[in-house]
Chain A
Amino acid sequence: MLVNGDAVEVDVPGMRRLLDVLREDLGLSGTKEGCGEGECGACSVLLDGELVDACLVPICQVDGHVVRTVEGLAGRAVDGQPDLSQLDVVQSAFLETGGAQCGICTPGMLMAAHAFLASGADPTDEAIREAIAGNLCRCTGYTKIVDAIVLAAHSASQPPVE
């Protein structure tokens, strides 16, 4: 499978959860576990561009597919880790509006935001809330997360300014 652009191979039981493969076998602990039963969205990743709960996906279903996690959003530093000074447009928007507080829902929220922005839907308040309805946040009240996604959508549609 392809994880954040890198081809990876794992030798694990087919029913092992994608979440555990990412966190424990590949060391990608940015994807979180909040409930383990598809209720909280903390484990959201993109599977072939679709938003899925990694706690509900057995690894056998991922064979040969493309996975994207929070670690794959920012630019990478020389050591291959995410470069904190090269945030992508959605991460930057979250940072500026205050869309991340404790940060535990944030990786999943960012992936949901990416799925939404990639869909090309109009970034209305209602559409954004619909898009992140499967991702629980207990800290923010969602207002600043919605603001961040609006800002990201707006910025993404502008030509880059140097």
Chain B
Amino acid sequence: MTIRTPTPRGPVRSAPARSAPDALVVPPGEITTGHARGAPLRREGPAKLTGVAKYADDLVFPGAWYGGTVRSTEAHARLDAIELDPGFDWSGVVVVSAADIPGDNVVSLISDDQPVLVPVGGEIRHHAEPVALLAAPDRGMLREARQRLTLRTTPLPAVFDPLQSGEVFAHFDIRRGDVEAALAGAELVVEGIYRVGHQEQLYIENQAMIAVPRDDGGVAVHGSLQCPYYIHKALKRALLLDDRRARVVQTETGGGFGGKEEYPSMIALHAALLALKCKRPVRMIYERHEDIAATTKRHPAIVTYRSGVDREGHLIAQDIEVVMDGGAYTTLTPVVLSRGTLHAGGPYACENVRIRSRAVATNTPPNGAFRGFGAPQVEFAAEMQVNRIAEVLKVSPLELRRRWVYQRGDVTPTGQVLRESVAGEEVLLRATEAAEYERVRERTAGARARRGADGSGREGGDRTASGIGLALGWHGAGFTGSGEVHLASIASVELTADGRIAVLTASTEMGQGTKTIFPQLAAAELGVPVEDVDIAPQDTGIVPDSGPTVASRTAMVVGGLVIKACRRLREEVEARTGRPFAEAYRDDARDHGPTRVDQQFEPYPGVQFDDATYSGDAYPAFGWAACVAEVDVDLDTGEVAVRNVVAADDVGRVIHPVLAEGQVEGGTLQAIGYATIEEIKLEDGRYLNDRLATYLIPTALDAPRITSILVEAPFSGAPHGAKGVGELPMDVGAPAVVDAIHDATGVWIHDLPASPERILAALGATGPTSSSSAGRSRSDKDVEGAVDAAMDAPIEVGTDPLPTERTDAQPFRAPTDR
């Protein structure tokens, strides 16, 4: 069901014939009906489409200086001195070091370990760490000054391998049932070690922040950001400002994907320190190179998995160990790890589960938030296991998932009973039907059989092999555990004196559609035209703290608050006027003046989580996603072309079909990039490919045609039933692509990305069917020693149970009862 707006806007007029002397104007045609398939057009769309929308770098502040960051060139060192070349005229530039920070030298987030600037005598913990700041009236002088500043350091030994790190940021241990006993009694045990690397968010607008000193001694920052109140808090702490004197204003934001969740606090602090010192606005606009080199990435992870299956083909045991590389500072790592831990089992019922996880420090730039937030890493491993088990059991991966997927009433590893809104099977069936999964799979199997396992049946023109792959996933909606209760977000709705409705939240628009869906929700609840609803600017001087714009929580949590606030506003006005709100609100505004309602988050009924024991309802509800990918693999070059993708995502309730599909399509392509080409290469803790020419993301030619199917299994705790959509597609794209590569070639790629080199190595090893285990035993050895040392009760790895032989004797009975 779509929440429809009472009155769609009138048709957009096409451009009249222009007098401009060029022939490029496309003749105008009546092309739009004025709405996007029954929902309103993107609110800020016309401004973005005409170039009028102002992103941070588009803002002009007269007299502003250019700010720059001096960064470490070592991964681990003591900072002995910051030296200014006496031969340079420093009177025309401003230099800021840690000594200039009036308050605490920390970027306030979870732990207080990350400094705003490394102090002299302090420790540089990663390459590209901020050490000093410069501002100058023009770019040329800024460049010159940077060359005249030298960092004196003493190198310290660095740790780059997470398995060698003894510094643990966070660890979790979830247990249900008796894993060891279940594995001992299993008919089949399949093991795997999966490694995934860094991924860059690569929003097309680089990080950007402009700080403007205020008359009252405070500072206002305008920038590209997701979470105004994170920055607000960070400014207050380090600059010793009160609520009023620190002000954060979001500019139009050219993509975030998590990359503008926490790092903008650092940039805002840098710009503010410079602005306060030189008493004028300072622009901190990153170039792409600096953005990739210095800002956060998706956490690399090593996931070790053992799954046990009984003779009926039931999943009876999952023993999982997750190691994430947090980089040099804590940032959001404990929360990323927590989500990764909670999702590691995948969307499958299992009585005996043990999930142990830890996130460790290395001397690499800190990793942080990125769409999916720990889940894509572990769900890749979980889905690889399912697909590999299906191969061993010689059953369809679809059939196996139908048998295992959570149903209503099932219990998760934290003891959460899935009481409602469980749609794993539905998304699975919808995606596979639309993709004609079984039919295509038969065809690709036929082609593979004809070519033969060693490729001996290849004919002259047989250069490419086609395959189809499947993955299923789940994603906890909103903050983990008691996160929302602690946040205690507030959203407000106001009937203004001039008879309009204003929605006041700190939830930012970064392309996902906040500014379009909130007016829609308010208009639907109040029965007023959507054009009468305004969105207040995301400015901490104006809007309340509705929490960060992260965790796919905006539509579900904050949208729910907006609806509840509207409900109370309606009741108040109706009680006062004795008439329906839609008829009375303009008169009421005139006669009574403005009415504002602040709505604070109230815990979802019956949802309880115990942080101490990590048990209970980890999330109020889960979203469910399935992905079917078709690929062509070039058998000579190892290159993968993803041809077609069908994605089915359960979002609870669709608020805006076009925007929701846009989230699914965009997230799916990011997952395909993660699966195939996106890779950060490191040397001594430094990112080597820190340019857009070397860190590749999919172009329109690399991108498949993506068919998105929106499924609705509403969540009763949210007034509109919505569960969020942003992150879901990110969890399933990569395992579906890697499964399709296997379907095409017969080889399993255990590490992401499935690059041509990895595929060729696997194909060339000892023939397609055995190459993957060759790759695996090497990994096993690496992990074994280090894991043993670091964990109290290490998982025993290293012996591949050769499952094929054991199960051939115990044929799997295909389930018929579900």
- Tell me the A residues contacting B by CB distance below 8 Å: 2, 4-5, 23, 27-37, 39-40, 42, 46, 49, 66, 68-75, 81-98, 100-107, 110, 114, 117-118, 125, 128-130, 132-146, 151-152, 154-162
Contact = CB atoms under 8 A, between A and B. Distances in A.
Nearest to A110: B49
A53 B45 CA distance: 23
B451 interface: no
A70 B700 contact: no
Nearest to A20: B139
Contacts of B256: 102
12 contacts: A85-B13, A87-B12, A93-B32, A97-B36, A104-B255, A133-B700, A136-B697, A141-B669, A142-B665, A151-B31, A160-B29, A161-B30
Given A96-B41, A103-B252, A40 B204 contact: yes
A93 B16 CA distance: 16
Contacts of A73: 15, 49-50
B775 to A, nearest CB: 31
A89 B49 contact: no
Interface in B575-624: none
B52 A81 contact: yes
Contacts of B22: 5, 49, 66, 68
Contacts of A158: 29-30
Nearest to B20: A5
Contacts of A35: 288, 691-692
Contact of A97 (B254, B255, B510, B658): B658
Contacts of A93: 31-32
Interface string B188-221: 0000000000000111111000000000000000
Prevailing SS type, chain A contact patch: loop
B203 A102 contact: yes
Contact of A137 (B28, B53, B204, B691): B204
A46 B681 CA distance: 36
Contacts of B512: 101
Contacts, number: 266
Interface in B1-50: 12-16, 18-33, 35-36, 41-42, 44-50
Interface stretch (B75-83, B429-437, B453-461, B701-709): B701-709
Interface in B53-85: 53-55, 57-58, 60
A93 B36 CA distance: 10
A106 B48 contact: yes
B674 interface: no
B202 A138 contact: yes
From A4, A125, A156, name the one whose CB has the most chain B CB atoms within 10 angstroms.
A156
From B22, B50, B253, B706, name the one whose CB has the most chain A CB atoms within 10 angstroms.
B50
B204 A136 contact: yes
By Cβ-Cβ distance, the 7 closest A-B pairs, closest first, are A30-B51, A104-B254, A102-B511, A103-B48, A141-B665, A101-B511, A5-B20
A95 B662 CA distance: 12
B666 interface: yes
Contact of A31 (B20, B51, B204, B703): B51
A102 B27 contact: no
B532 to A, nearest CB: 18
Contacts of B693: 37, 39
B659 interface: yes
B204 A104 contact: yes
Contacts of B29: 89, 155-161
Given A96-B33, A160-B30, 15 more contacts: A2-B21, A39-B691, A70-B51, A75-B16, A82-B52, A93-B32, A97-B36, A98-B658, A103-B45, A104-B203, A104-B205, A106-B49, A117-B26, A138-B255, A144-B658
Interface string B689-719: 0011100010111010110000000000000
Nearest to A48: B22
Nearest to A156: B26
A142 B673 CA distance: 13
B661 interface: yes
A151 B37 CA distance: 14
A155 B30 contact: yes
B677 to A, nearest CB: 13
Contact of B51 (A5, A94, A107, A157): A107
A24 to B, nearest CB: 9
Prevailing SS type, chain B contact patch: loop
A134 B693 CA distance: 12
B14 A92 contact: yes
B49 A100 contact: yes
A90 to B, nearest CB: 6
Contact of B701 (A133, A140, A155): A133
Contact of B659 (A23, A95, A98, A136): A98
B142 to A, nearest CB: 15
From B29, B42, B204, name the one whose CB has the most chain A CB atoms within 10 angstroms.
B204
B287 interface: yes
A66 B20 CA distance: 11
Contacts of B54: 29
A156 B26 CA distance: 6
Nearest to A31: B51
A33 to B, nearest CB: 7
Contacts of B201: 138
A128 B215 CA distance: 52
Contact of B50 (A23, A66, A82): A82
B169 interface: no
B748 interface: no
Contacts of B254: 32, 102-105
A144 B204 contact: no
A55 B64 CA distance: 23
A132 B698 CA distance: 12
Contacts of B42: 95, 98, 100
A129 B48 CA distance: 22
From B15, B57, B692, name the one whose CB has the most chain A CB atoms within 10 angstroms.
B15
A118 to B, nearest CB: 5
B700 A138 contact: no
Contacts of B703: 129, 141-143
Contact of A100 (B12, B48, B52, B661): B48
A114 to B, nearest CB: 6
A86 B15 contact: yes
Given A32-B55, A46-B24, A92 B203 contact: no
B421 interface: no
A148 to B, nearest CB: 10
Nearest to B668: A141
Nearest to A24: B60
A146 B692 contact: no
A143 B705 contact: yes
A152 B49 contact: no
A90 B48 contact: no
B670 interface: yes
Contacts of B513: 101
Contacts of B21: 2, 5
B263 interface: no
B51 A82 contact: yes
A146 B700 contact: yes
A51 B15 CA distance: 22
